[in-house]
Amino acid sequence: MARKLRLHLAAAVLGAALAVLAAVPAHAHDQLVSSSPADGAAVPAPRRIELAFDDVVLDRYDQLVVTGPDGRRYDRGEPRVVDNTIAVDVAPLPVTGGYVAAFRIVSADGHPVTGQIRFTVTAVTPGATPGPVDTGASPAAAPDPGPSSALPLLAAGVGAVVVLAVGTEAVRRRRSRGAPAAGDEHP
């Protein structure tokens, strides 16, 4: 069934290619022709990323990963392929700055094509839970820390306890080295 579909697709693609062969140079793989947001654009937080290619995208093993300036992933759910496009939903974005949408698609000719677009988010999603505090932000724009900010605080707390424990251990060792307790060292 899948093979038959592939043959049909191949025939359709071949037919289309032959029809425009005189006017357009042939190409082997799908190429990214446009995107929303556009590559290099500065935009308010998008809720969806869509990439358009010059040929059909095969709906197999496709990936569209959105990474924020904080290193976190913001794509949500599976990417959706429709004809020449692939799209993925984007979570509420809590930080402004440079984002990357990296894709891996399967080209109409069955070959994988990878690449990425970059865009700058100029305004966070209204109501988005803030991530790490941006010290460069104006105080008026700094929102209340939400529930998820408890996690970094917790991590910092655990880190402090570990540092304290290691420090205490080091002091204890130094002390015991200075005045060895009975049975601590062999004669």
Residues that bind Cu ion (CB under 5 A): 28-29, 109, 111
Closest contact distance (angstroms) between CB of 51 and Cu ion is 17
3-state secondary structure of 4: helix
Closest contact distance (angstroms) between CB of 86 and Cu ion is 17
Closest contact distance (angstroms) between CB of 111 and Cu ion is 3
CB closer to Cu ion out of 29 and 80: 29
- Interatomic CA distance for residues 75 and 71, integer angstroms: 12
Angle at 72 between CA 120 and CA 91, to 5 degrees: 70
* Residue type at position 23: A
- 62 with 105: CB under 8 angstroms? yes
Residue nearest to Cu ion (CB): 111
Instruction: Name the token pair of 68.
Output: 């924020």
Closest contact distance (angstroms) between CB of 2 and Cu ion is 19
CB closer to Cu ion out of 31 and 122: 31
CB closer to Cu ion out of 70 and 109: 109
CB closer to Cu ion out of 13 and 137: 13
Residue 163 is inside which H or E element, if any?
A: helix 150-178
